[in-house]
């Protein structure tokens, strides 16, 4: 039996009976309706690859206008579906008109069964190919973004960090849900990518979603997708992140920022392993490996009623806590050397070294911004360096107890980046509070964090 679901719309009971008998032996599903009034609702309620549509529904009328009208209605809501027009009148102009309006092909009554089946198979394959091409284009876009994203290495040999990597190796080969926790700047996304690379799903995509950057009104559209016309700006069908990540890994970053209503919808999708695009009644089965991340204590949020306990259990089969940089001091000199080499090459600087006194101060400093703060600190020092050796004064204030956090920046953009980093640090990673301190909206802050690659 060939793959494909077919909807037949014709006012002749004999035609419906004949087509149902012929097609039901060859294809997965054949549904017949005698008039077009229920056509759109039927397409919204069920998935079809092909519509066989009569061109005339009124006795004595053979202009084909009614069929063209319903053809256009179908194309408005389901632009990728294949449509075969059926008519008893072999009018070439009518056939051309239908094809220009978006019909896939044209069938004349009476038909030849062999030719009809061949035409139907081709039309269904066209629909399937369109869907595959659209999905491939979206996956290609995500893949290009992933390739173009600056690859960051996982650095560290300290016992605290090696315990993290051992856990990663143990769980990577399973499909269990993983929650990665840790302060901002500790490298949660890097660990998520390592898990994906070591998993059995590494030939498929890892799709990343920043939950804090999605408004509640767009949550379903972003994660579950939508159909054309389902809301004002839905100008075309959109594949959701769940469907894109199917067979691969879905990484939900900053999951603690999810509002209560969205938490319930996410839980339902994870429990049922299916999603329904906005504006559709057709659920889609998805097969994803879930990795989530947060810098907040979800157990405390559950106690305060801010996070669903059942959702926490669903996403937290295994929890991996990434230690802050101050707890893995052995890794600081190695990271410093790595970033020094990286940015010396990036900015075409002659080989630069860091004095032992500077490294000693690095080891004593708390690094509230963790690896990200260390990286930005060294990058800035390399940019401003005037000699081949970076000293304590190139990094620390006069008291030598903290990294320089507020000299006059080289550019206005650097000033903006520093203000954002400082606001996030001073508010312990609370994005809402940081945005309030900066006098901007939370969404604007997220946009700027993405611009400057601040995690």
Over residues 245-282, the pLDDT tens digits come to 999 999 999 999 999 889 999 999 999 999 999 888 88
DSSP tag of 396: B
Equal fold, 2-131 vs 326-452: no
More confident residue, 97 or 408: 97
Q: Round to whole Å and give the CA distance between 370 and 180.
A: 16
- Split at pLDDT 50, 70, 90, the class of 406 is very low
Identify the architecture of domain 326-452 in CATH.
Orthogonal Bundle (1.10)
Averaged pLDDT, 405-413 = 47
Averaged pLDDT, 117-136 = 88
Percentage of the chain exceeding pLDDT 70 = 91
Residue 61: pLDDT over 70: no
Q: Are 37 and 71 in contact (CB under 8 A)?
A: no
Domain boundaries, the chain: 2-131, 150-321, 326-452
332-346 vs 356-364: helix crossing angle, rounded to 10: 120
Residue 16: pLDDT over 90: yes
Q: Are 347 and 383 in contact (CB under 8 A)?
A: yes
Q: What are phi and psi of 210, to 5 degrees?
A: -85, 100
Residue 90: pLDDT over 50: yes
Q: Are 290 and 178 in contact (CB under 8 A)?
A: yes
Residue 238: pLDDT over 60: yes
Output b/e per residue, 402-417; b: 16+ Cβ within 10 A. Answer: ebeeeeeeeeeeeeeb
Averaged pLDDT, 52-81 = 83
pLDDT value at position 149? 55
Cα dist. 219→14, 192, 211, 222, 244 in Å?
Answer: 47, 22, 9, 5, 15
Could you please state the CATH topology (level 3) that the domain comprising 150-321 is classified under: Rossmann fold (3.40.50)
Tokens of 30: 């054949």
Mean pLDDT of the chain, nearest integer: 86
Q: Round to whole Å and give the CA distance between 32 and 444.
A: 51
Which range has the top average pLDDT, 49-53, 210-214, 399-403? Answer: 49-53
- List all residues 6 or more positions away from 82 whose beta carbon is below 8 Å from its beta carbon: 49, 50, 51, 104, 123, 124, 126, 127
Cα dist. 165→115, 183, 192, 321 in Å?
Answer: 61, 17, 11, 11
pLDDT value at position 420? 86
Percentage of the chain exceeding pLDDT 90 = 51
Interior CA angle at 332 toward 327 and 333, to 5°?
A: 150
- DSSP β-ladder status, 225-226 and 238-239: antiparallel
> 393 in helix, strand or coil?
helix
Residue 78: pLDDT over 60: yes
Domain 2-131: CATH superfamily is: Response regulator (3.40.50.2300)
Helices (H), 151-199: 159-171, 188-198
Q: Round to whole Å and give the CA distance between 351 and 143.
A: 34
Residue 407: pLDDT over 50: no
- Split at pLDDT 50, 70, 90, the class of 413 is low
């Amino acid at each position: 039996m060939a793959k494909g679901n077919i909807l037949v719309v014709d006012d002749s009971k004999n035609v419906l009976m004949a087509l149902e008998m012929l097609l039901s032996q060859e294809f997965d599903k054949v549904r017949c309706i005698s008039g077009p009034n229920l056509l759109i609702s039927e397409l919204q309620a069920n998935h079809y690859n092909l519509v066989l549509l009569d061109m005339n529904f009124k006795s004595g009328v053979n202009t084909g206008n009614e069929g063209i009208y319903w053809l256009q209605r179908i194309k408005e809501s389901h632009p990728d579906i294949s449509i075969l027009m059926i008519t008893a009148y072999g009018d070439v102009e009518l056939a051309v008109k239908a094809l220009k309006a978006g019909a896939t092909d044209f069938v004349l009554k009476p038909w030849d069964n062999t030719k009809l089946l061949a035409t139907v198979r081709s039309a269904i394959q066209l629909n399937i190919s369109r869907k595959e091409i659209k999905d491939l284009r979206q996956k290609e876009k995500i893949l290009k973004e992933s390739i173009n994203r600056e690859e960051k290495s996982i650095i560290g040999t300290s016992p605290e960090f090696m315990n993290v990597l051992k856990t990663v190796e143990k769980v990577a080969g399973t499909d269990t849900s993983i929650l990665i926790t840790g302060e901002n700047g500790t490298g949660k996304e890097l660990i998520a990518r390592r898990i994906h690379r070591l998993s059995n799903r590494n030939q498929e995509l890892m799709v990343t979603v920043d939950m804090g950057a999605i408004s509640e009104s767009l949550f379903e559209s972003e994660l579950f997708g939508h159909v054309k016309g389902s809301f004002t700006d839905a100008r075309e069908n959109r594949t959701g992140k769940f469907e894109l990540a199917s067979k691969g890994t879905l990484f939900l970053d900053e999951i603690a920022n999810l509002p209560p209503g969205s938490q319930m919808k996410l839980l339902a999708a994870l429990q049922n392993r299916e999603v329904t695009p906005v504006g559709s009644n057709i659920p889609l089965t998805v097969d994803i490996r879930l990795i989530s991340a947060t810098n907040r204590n979800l157990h405390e949020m559950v106690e305060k009623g801010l996070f669903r306990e059942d959702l926490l259990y669903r996403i937290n089969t295994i929890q991996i806590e990434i230690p802050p940089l101050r707890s893995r001091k052995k890794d600081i000199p190695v990271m410093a050397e790595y970033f020094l080499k990286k940015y010396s090459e990036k900015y075409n600087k002659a080989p630069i070294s860091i004095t032992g006194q500077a490294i000693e101060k690095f080891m004593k400093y708390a690094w509230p911004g963790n690896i990200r703060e260390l990286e930005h600190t060294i990058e800035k020092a390399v940019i401003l360096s005037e000699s081949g050796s970076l000293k304590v004064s190139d990094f620390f204030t006069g008291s030598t107890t903290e990294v320089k956090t507020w000299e006059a920046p080289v550019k206005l953009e650097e000033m903006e980046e520093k203000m954002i980093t400082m606001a996030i640090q001073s508010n312990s990673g609370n994005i809402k509070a940081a945005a309030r301190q900066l006098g901007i909206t939370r969404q604007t802050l997220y946009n700027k964090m993405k611009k400057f690659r601040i995690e």
